Amino acid sequence: RKEVEQDPGPFNVPEGATVAFNCTYSNSASQSFFWYRQDCRKEPKLLMSVYSSGNEDGRFTAQLNRASQYISLLIRDSKLSDSATYLCVVIPLNSGGYQKVTFGTGTKLQVIP
């Protein structure tokens, strides 16, 4: 099983729709979680951290389900500008050495007019 798994998509959704992506992780000791956004031919950029209690930033909601070992990203009222690839990032609990950061391969979102 991969350490971090994402559905590659693409998710094709109409403008205004609500869309959700999941990201599953295999290391139960994982501690920190993030969502990054990557536009075509650009670098990944931090979208939001994922907190245990869930968190919201405008139209974006991130949630963590430790029991089932996945994080989710919900986008409400999709805009054309939301079209991008969304990467999840998982960082394990620091055991004193290097914290192995694992990136998912990304889920592609295409918002259609």
CA dist., res. 50 & res. 57, Å (int): 11
Q: Pick the binder of other proteins from 44, 63, 71, 86 (CB under 8 A).
A: 44
Per CB under 8 A, 105 contacts other proteins: yes
Residue whose structure tokens are 């590659």 = 8
Q: Which residues pair with 72 in a beta bridge?
A: 22, 63
Shorter beta-carbon distance to other proteins: residue 13 or 91: 91
- Number of CB atoms found within 10 A of residue 94's CB: 11
**What does the block give as tokens for 51?**
């907190």
Q: Which of 34, 78, 109, 111 binds other proteins (CB under 8 A)?
A: 34
Among 43, 52, 53, 95, binds other proteins (CB under 8 A): 43
Q: Looking at 19-27, 56-64, 74-82, 83-91, which segment touches other proteins (CB under 8 A)? A: 83-91
